[in-house]
Structure 1
Amino acid sequence: MNKFLIFTLLLCFLTDPILSIVQLSSISSSFPDTPARFTKGLNGSVICGDLWVAEPLDACSPLLDEVEDGGDESANIVLIMRGNCAFEEKIRNAQEAGFRAAIVYDDQLDHNLISMMGNPEGLWIYAVFVSNTAGETMRENARGVGGECCIISLVDETAWTVLVISFISVLAVICLLVSICFTVNQWRNCQETRTTAVDDKVVDMLPRITFGAVNLIDPIGETCIICLEDYKHGESLKVLPCRHVVFTGFHSSCVNSWLTKGATFCPVCKHDVRARMASSVK
């Protein structure tokens, strides 16, 4: 259960849901993306505008083409390739050039979408990350003026964050309840084990013999079946009320531990000691 909890929490924090999509009007295609964690969020709204290709493509230096800020109704969006510098530097250069949004695409094939990290201070534009395939497709079809591109928010990101936190909280409560139930069940099992053990008084009633005594009527082995150690002359042994071909005794300490810690039967013949003792008392 602990491993499952850790894995679920890591999955929630490290895996980013698809909160928005990029839609390119010129080819009527949509691409999944993940919003940057350090820029402005759309929170359920849409931003549309002309799609430009950054020059230089990696946007690691000031962009050569500056655009006019047309407001929310006519925003300009820039396409940037990942690599060579930090995400924050790319987005700041895009903002300085007058763009209202930036789309950063992966420079490697078959990579998972990630959430870009950076310092949010002074940033007010929106930024998303898309795959290499999506980025190259948009790059081929970007037209600048007249090439409309939209970034569409599928859900309110704030509401999604609250949902994730709520899910984790509920999961933690469930795991806590399961742990409590498991602990209680273990305690009950221990209690049942203790109640099925032979009572100390019954164990004290078992007959004792001394190993090596000359007055023993029945023959006895030389090794304790429980600890597998040979008896020593004059050692005190206890005898269970069982009938064997060869009479068997046990070290007193061994049989005491055997019967009072859960076992109720003879380690040799498996007969219940309590039943034997009850019948012998009658």
Structure 2
Amino acid sequence: MIGNSEGILVSAVFVSKTSGETLKKLAEGNGGECCLLPSPRERAADVFMIPFISVVILALAGIFLCTRFLVVRERGGHRHADSHLVEVLPCITFSVTRQIDQHARETCVICLEDYREGEKLKVLPCQHEFHATCIDSWLTKWGTFCPVCKRVINRQIRPSV
């Protein structure tokens, strides 16, 4: 408005489209003036934009997760070792004097029990030692990696024929 705005009162109310049309009919019937302006949010592109973006994000996340699963599966991270692989692991007998000389661990990290004199231990290619029964169970039931350093062992051991 140009000029003096004293005494001019403009009321604005946001209502639904149906309510606006009803108000327009009522205002026209009484000789009043009513303007209905569409909300910018009522455009079809805006209505479909959020679901479209959501679907694109979900599709990208699905592709990422599938790719990640295939890479992990290809590396052997979720497979179990076969019995031949477990059998070819070198075995040693634990002795306190050997443990002091080599500064090796004195506890099996799988069962959390201390090694005792004369117990049979198996050594992985990464040089981590475990109770033979503990590591056999670990490799055949949980995975083909070392419980300490997470190195995959199935590619480091070549079973003898």
| 3-state SS in 2 of match to 1:229 | coil
User: 1:178 and 1:266, CA in 2 relative to 1: closer, same or farther beyond 3 A?
Assistant: closer
1:223 paired residue number: 106
User: Unaligned regions of 5+ residues in structure 1, if any?
Assistant: 1-23, 28-50, 54-78, 80-101, 105-114, 127-149, 213-217
Contact 2:123 2:130 in 1 (8 A): yes
TM-fit CA distance, 1:208: 3.7
User: What is the letter of the counterpart of residue 238 of structure 1?
Assistant: K
CA-based RMSD of the aligned residues comes to 4.8
1:237 equivalent among 121, 138, 143: 121
Q: Post-superposition shift, 1:189?
A: 3.1
Is there any run of 5+ residues in structure 2 with no aligned partner, and where?
26-33
Structure of higher RCO (CA pairs closer than 8 Å, 6+ residues apart): 2
- Tell whether the 8 Å contact from 1:236 to 1:252 is kept in structure 2 after alignment: yes
SS in 2 for 1:26: coil
C-alpha separation in 2, matches of 1:274 and 1:265: 16
The CA deviation at 1:182 is 2.3
Find 1:171's aligned residue among 53, 62, 68. 53
**Equivalents in 1 of 2:105, 2:2: separation in Å?**
94
SS of aligned partner of 2:130: strand
CA contact (8 A) 1:198 1:264 kept: no
CA drift of 1:125 comes to 3.3
Task: List aligned pairs for 1:76-225, cutoff 5 A.
Answer: 79=10, 102-103=11-12, 115=14, 120=19, 123-125=22-24, 153=37, 157=39, 160-194=42-76, 199-200=81-82, 201-209=84-92, 211=94, 219-220=98-99, 223-224=106-107
Tell me how far apart the structure 1 counterparts of residues 125 and 48 of structure 2 sit (CA, whole Å): 63
Alignment check: 8 A CA contact 1:197 1:263 kept: no
Q: Does 1:26 align with 2:21?
A: no
**1:219 partner letter:** R
Report the Cα distance in structure 1 between the residues aligned to 2:78 and 2:36, rounded to whole angstroms: 67
In structure 2, distance between residues paired with 1:236 and 1:224: 13
| Counterparts of 1:116 and 1:26, CA distance in 2 | 30
**Structure that is richer in strand per residue:** 1
Shift, 1:184, TM fit: 0.6
**What secondary structure sits across from 2:122 in the alignment?**
strand
Alignment partners' CA distance in 1, 2:118 and 2:86: 21
2:143 match: 261
Answering whether residue 132 of structure 2 is matched by residue 252 of structure 1, we say yes
Deviation per CA, 1:18-71: give whole Å up to 9, x if none.
xxxxxx2437xxxxxxxxxxxxxxxxxxxxxxx843xxxxxxxxxxxxxxxxxx
TM-score, with structure 1 as normaliser: 0.35
Q: CA deviation at 1:233?
A: 5.4
Tell me, yes or no, if the aligned pair for 1:210 and 1:235 is still in contact at 8 Å: yes
The alpha-carbon deviation at position 207 of structure 1 amounts to 3.6
Report if aligned partners of 1:211, 1:235 keep a CA contact under 8 Å in 2. Answer: yes
